[in-house]
Amino acid sequence: MNDILKLFSRFIGKTLISLSLTIFILTFFAIPLAENVNIISDSLDTEIILNDMMKNSEITLAEAKELCQKNPAQEECDVINDPSSLLDEQLEPIVEKAQEIKPHLFTARIISVVMFLIGIILLFIGTSNIYETAYKTSSTTLFTLLFYAVFYKLADKTIPGIAGNLSQQNQEVPKVLLDMAVKAITEWIKTPVKEVFTVCLILSGASLVVLIASYILKKKYLEKNNPPKGKN
């Protein structure tokens, strides 16, 4: 019965460690996304958007600008004179939502650290050996981090690719606007992916060092406490 409880404790401990790392790494992706929503508007060419909006109009964009200079109170002149205001208006709800989410993401990061520590405690209960605990913690951490390093690195390529494929299937929106949207998404996720990849590599390096050290210490401990038969 005691062995079953220890096995269960080790399983829960390793699960908590993997789950905590999943949340921890996710915050390094989500927080920069929330902080850099403005990258979307910076990546879009408002002149192209205005030209597309006016392609079915009776006047050209240049003529509209000239009319707005003469009579700035006319409808739509605010957008024509300052096209970025149109994007800011569309992005405002997203920016507000991002600001609301940010504190929860930082809280989730703290919770993930607590979960990680609880996972280590459960592993120790399940192994009753500090070296075995360090070995299992570092090995679980290393493989989880390497998985997410590859996962997010691939996401940097696949997400824009998926967006591009979807844009090709959409015939209602002009291709030039869809291409700009794909570019905006690519720029938006570039910084978070780079940050996640860097964090994963740094923590993986630290985990590898602990893994090697704990393996050596565990081996010495076992040799000391379980000497070969025939030896004192």
Residue 105 lies in a domain: yes
Q: Residue 232 above 50 pLDDT?
A: no
Above 60 in pLDDT, residue 220?
yes
Is position 232 within any domain?
no
Tokens coding 89: 């208006």
Average of per-residue pLDDT across 108-121: 96
The answer to whether residue 125 sits within a structural domain is yes
Total domain count, the chain:
1
Of 71-80, 134-143, 213-222, minimum mean pLDDT range = 71-80
Positive/negative CA dihedral, 54, 60, 62, 64: negative
pLDDT at 172 over 60: no
More confident residue, 148 or 171: 148
Least confident window among 11-25, 43-57, 136-150, 157-171: 157-171
The 3-state DSSP class for residue 131 equals helix
How does the average pLDDT of the chain come out, rounded? 80
Asked if residue 173 belongs to a domain, the reply is yes
For range 41-55, the mean pLDDT: 65
Query: Is residue 21 classed exposed, middle or buried when 0-12, 13-18 and 19+ CB atoms within 10 A define those classes?
Result: buried
Q: Looking at residues 46-74, what average pLDDT do you find? A: 67
Give the range among 135-149, 156-170, 215-229 with minimum mean pLDDT: 156-170
DSSP for residue 177: H
Distance between CA atoms of residues 218 and 216, nearest Å: 5
- Rounded-to-integer distance, Cα 85 and Cα 194, Å: 30
Please tell me the distance from the alpha carbon of residue 174 to that of residue 52, in angstroms, as a whole number: 8
Least confident of 104-113, 126-135, 163-172: 163-172
pLDDT at 90: 60
Does any domain span residue 231? no
Mean pLDDT of 211-226: 88
150-168 pLDDT per residue, tens: 988 887 777 766 655 655 5
Domain assignment present for residue 133? The answer is: yes
Q: What is the DSSP letter of 68?
A: H
**Interval 67-85: pLDDT, tens:** 777 776 666 666 666 655 6
Q: Residue 128: which domain range?
A: 2-225
- The more confidently predicted of residues 177 and 135 is 135
Higher pLDDT pick, 161 / 24: 24
Say which residue, 109 or 157, is predicted with more confidence. 109
In a domain, 74, yes or no: yes
Residue 219 token pair: 């081996």
114-125: average pLDDT: 95
What pLDDT sits at residue 88? 62
User: Residue 100 to residues 22, 94, 103, 106: CA-CA distances in angstroms?
Assistant: 22, 10, 7, 11
The four Cα atoms 71, 75, 78, 79 give a dihedral, to 10 degrees, of -130
